[in-house]
Structures are given as structure tokens and as C-alpha cells.
A and B are shown apart, each in its own frame.
Chain A
Amino acid sequence: GENVEQHPSTLSVQEGDSAVIKCTYSDSASNYFPWYKQELGKRPQLIIDIRSNVGEKKDQRIAVTLNKTAKHFSLHITETQPEDSAVYFCAASQGGTSYGKLTFGQGTILTVHP
């Protein structure tokens, strides 16, 4: 089955700095890669996703890059703000009827210091 590795497990930055979280996956059949943000005691919420036919996607301060050859993808947050503090999860799936059949990474605790 799929295996997703995520690094780092914790990340501490100053407000305004950039944050980068990296993930690798093992199953070459995976073609959908979402990123979820989870605040304490809340549900995971999608912040950005990328499909395998795209190498990069950007949404305001958030961007994701995908390298299918190397089987890795990364989340980039620029101009970080204290409200970006949360746990971030990467995930992978084979799409189709199973977009929600996600294998998650272990999570990254991001802390943005004012």
C-alpha cells in the first residue's frame, strides 16, 4: 500500500518568514495530493491540493509543488502569520472514485511566533 513520509515533525518560524513542509510517497499510482490544516480540537480542512498533471499550484500565500519522478511534494507558506499556527498534514490518493481514500503523513506542527 501507499506510504507517506512527512518532514519536519515540528517547525517554528517568526511571523513574516516562509515555511516549507516536505512529503514523499511510495505508490506511483497516486495522482492526487491534498494538504490539510488542523487546528487544535478541530477537523482537518483542505487548504490546497494538486493533481499529477500539474507541477505547481499557488493560492495567495500558499503554494504546492509536485515532483512525480522523485515522488515528493512540498507545501510552501510565505509571509507566515500567527493564525497559520496549526498541524499540517500531507496526503496521497489514487483519485477516481477514491479521492477521499487518503494516506496521510504524520503531520507537522507549525508554530508562528509574533
Chain B
Amino acid sequence: DAGVIQSPRHEVTEMGQEVTLRCKPISGHNSLFWYRQTMMRGLELLIYFNNNVPIDDSGMPEDRFSAKMPNASFSTLKIQPSEPRDSAVYFCASTLTGTEAFFGQGTRLTVV
């Protein structure tokens, strides 16, 4: 298995633009998690899905952030409009119930 796949690996965008981050979980995993990592706030959970259904989005910072999981093999995290303070590394992780979380390589987002 190729593991959790995220794209793009790097994204540079201008303030006010829409940004879409993508994630393909490990095949067979039933939960998917979006994390954000910054120097100031560390690793923080934004939202997670179980069987494609959003379970907890309390970590989503603002209405500018939205996430979807249309099927078991794909999820997106969208920021619209983007702001410089959204600059961070965004990780996607997936698990099978009762097992460890596997992280993707991350997307480094820079908003200028």
C-alpha cells in the first residue's frame, strides 16, 4: 500500500484565493483526520470523518474552512478565502478502527 497520499505537496497562493487540499486514505481505513501543524500551535485536529461522515469539526478555525469526504477513498479540505495566517503544514491521517493513525506526507501551504 502506498500509504496516505496528499496533494499538492506544496502550495503557494495569494491572500483571498481559494485553496483545495486533497487526501487519499489507506485503502480499507474507515476514519480520516485533517490536522494542521504550526510552530505556534503545534499539531491540532481540524476535523475527522468516520465512514465518510463528519463526526467532529470543532477544530475547524473559521467558516472559511470546509471539508468533504464524498467517498471512502477521497477527502478535500478547502479554504476560501485564504489568509496569511492559514500558512501551515496540513496533514491528513487515516485509521482502521482500533489501529494507529497513519499520516500523509503533508501539504505545506504558504499564503502571501
Contact = CB atoms under 8 A, between A and B. Distances in A.
A82 interface: no
Given A43-B105, A46-B101, A100 B42 contact: no
A104 B42 contact: yes
B82 interface: no
Interface of B: 30-33, 42-45, 48, 50, 55-56, 91, 93-95, 97-106
B95 A45 contact: no
A101 B45 CA distance: 7
Contacts of A45: 103
Contacts of A65: none
Nearest to A100: B101
B48 A98 contact: yes
A11 interface: no
B104 to A, nearest CB: 6
Main secondary structure of the interface of B (DSSP, over half): strand
Contacts, number: 62
Contacts of A46: 100-102
Given A89-B43, A106-B42, A107-B42, A99 B105 contact: no
Query: How large, as a class, is the contact surface on chain A?
Result: 20 to 34
B99 A99 contact: yes
Interface in A75-96: 89, 95-96
Contacts of A105: 42
Given A44-B91, A98-B31, A103 B45 contact: yes
B104 A44 contact: no
A96 B105 CA distance: 25
A97 interface: yes
B103 A102 contact: no
B56 A49 contact: no
